């Protein structure tokens, strides 16, 4: 037992537990179906700190804290650390950022305590010149029981998966129609994804309901057969005059049974009506999904048309700029020629004026 080895929980919380996929080394694999208690333990006999979590009687975390470990916050409610001894990476999903921060603070605190304990152990080794047995003892894991871990937070959490999105360049003014259409397309895609999820849930519920309806129909047929049999039995008992009192009592009981069966039958019929209504709702959602799919296709066609228009406008703009540049060059050349002609005319005028004065 943990208490027999001098090991007691010093801090506990609740979280969803994950381990890195040993094959891909990228994806997280949940090791608990729901939030479980995760506790820090201190073993005074070996002077080590451990993180321990049990799912029932199964130990899903048994990690000894060493000075080289680092707890990393990957999101507001999710953190992880690597355990080289267990050759894995543990991940914890908390119900709030406060619980994650508290766990991280305790991790750093006990990591520092483990470092100090290791330094003291090394100093003791140097003074006594005898081999220390604490490092070997740190690898020995004591047996666990579910009663040895006391939780302090009963909240349930759901794992939060974060994805790193690549930076997206902002659109220019010429691409504004295309960007607007892309935004509309993404909106419809999100709506379509939501409807697909709802449709899958309703389909599963419909299949389950269909199976239940078949079962209820079988039960209903059995109840009807039982009712007919009881009615026949009542008729037979009424014909027996020698047992009138017993027949009357039995008849009353049978009538009560029949009433109960009729009440049960009525409830089943109401449930069948409710299931029919759910089926109708599922069909309506299917029609909405088809409509949204058609709208999405129309938006995609519109996007392609806008892309073609944008490409055509860019080509026209480039052609216009080239024509303007050529016109400017021609105009500049013409101005230079005109300046030369004006200069020549000025010289001719001066020469004529001199000739007139001389004559």
Question: Residue 276 has which token pair?
Answer: 């029919």
- Domain assignment of residue 168, yes or no: no
- Domain assignment of residue 233, yes or no: no
Q: Which of the four pLDDT bands, split at 50, 70 and 90, describes residue 153?
A: very low
CATH number at residue 97: 2.30.29.30
Query: What are the tens digits of pLDDT across the range 298-330?
Result: 999 999 999 999 999 999 999 999 999 999 999
Note down the domain range covering 98. Answer: 11-121
Among 115, 118, 102, smallest CA distance to 39 is for 102
- Domain assignment of residue 256, yes or no: no
- How many other CB atoms are there within 10 angstroms of residue 216's CB atom? 20
Number of domains, the chain: 1
pLDDT of the residue at 47: 85
Residue 345 has pLDDT above 60, yes or no: yes
Q: Which of the four pLDDT bands, split at 50, 70 and 90, describes residue 175?
A: very low
- Domain assignment of residue 46, yes or no: yes
Average model confidence (pLDDT) across the chain: 79
More confident of the two residues 171 and 258: 258
- Domain assignment of residue 354, yes or no: no
Average pLDDT (208-231) is 79
Residue 159 has pLDDT above 50, yes or no: no
- Domain assignment of residue 79, yes or no: yes
d(CA 6, CA 46): 9
- Domain assignment of residue 147, yes or no: no
């Amino acid at each position: 037992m943990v208490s027999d080895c001098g090991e007691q929980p010093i801090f506990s919380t609740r979280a969803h537990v994950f381990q890195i996929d040993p094959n891909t080394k990228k994806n997280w694999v949940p090791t608990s179906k729901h939030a479980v208690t995760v506790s820090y333990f201190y073993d005074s006999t070996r002077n080590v700190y451990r993180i321990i979590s049990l799912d029932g009687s199964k130990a899903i975390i048994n990690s000894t804290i060493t000075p080289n470990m680092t707890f990393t916050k990957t999101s507001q409610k999710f953190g992880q650390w690597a355990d080289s001894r267990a050759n894995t990476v543990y991940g914890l999903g908390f119900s709030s950022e406060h619980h994650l921060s508290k766990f991280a603070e305790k991790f750093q605190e006990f990591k520092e305590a483990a470092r100090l304990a290791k330094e003291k152990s090394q100093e003791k080794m140097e003074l006594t010149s005898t081999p220390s047995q604490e490092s070997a003892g740190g690898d020995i894991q004591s047996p666990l029981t579910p009663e040895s871990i006391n939780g302090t937070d009963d909240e349930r959490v759901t794992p939060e998966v974060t994805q790193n999105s690549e930076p997206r360049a902002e659109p220019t003014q010429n691409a504004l129609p295309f960007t607007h259409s892309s935004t509309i397309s993404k909106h419809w895609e999100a709506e379509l994804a939501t409807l697909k999820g709802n449709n899958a849930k309703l389909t599963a519920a419909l299949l389950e309901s269909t199976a239940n309806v078949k079962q209820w129909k079988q039960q209903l047929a059995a109840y009807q057969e039982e009712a007919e049999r009881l009615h026949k039995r009542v008729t037979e008992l009424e014909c027996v005059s020698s047992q009138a009192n017993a027949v009357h009592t039995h008849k009353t009981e049978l009538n009560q049974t029949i009433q109960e069966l009729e009440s049960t039958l009525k409830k089943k019929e109401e449930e069948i009506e409710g299931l029919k209504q759910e089926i109708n709702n599922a069909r309506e959602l299917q029609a909405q999904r088809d409509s949204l799919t058609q709208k999405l296709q129309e938006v995609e066609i519109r996007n392609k048309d806008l892309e073609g228009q944008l490409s055509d406008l860019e080509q026209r703009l480039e052609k216009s700029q080239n024509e303007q540049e050529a016109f400017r060059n021609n105009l500049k050349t013409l101005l230079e020629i005109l300046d030369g002609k004006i200069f020549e005319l000025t010289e001719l005028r001066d020469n004529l004026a001199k000739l007139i004065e001389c004559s």
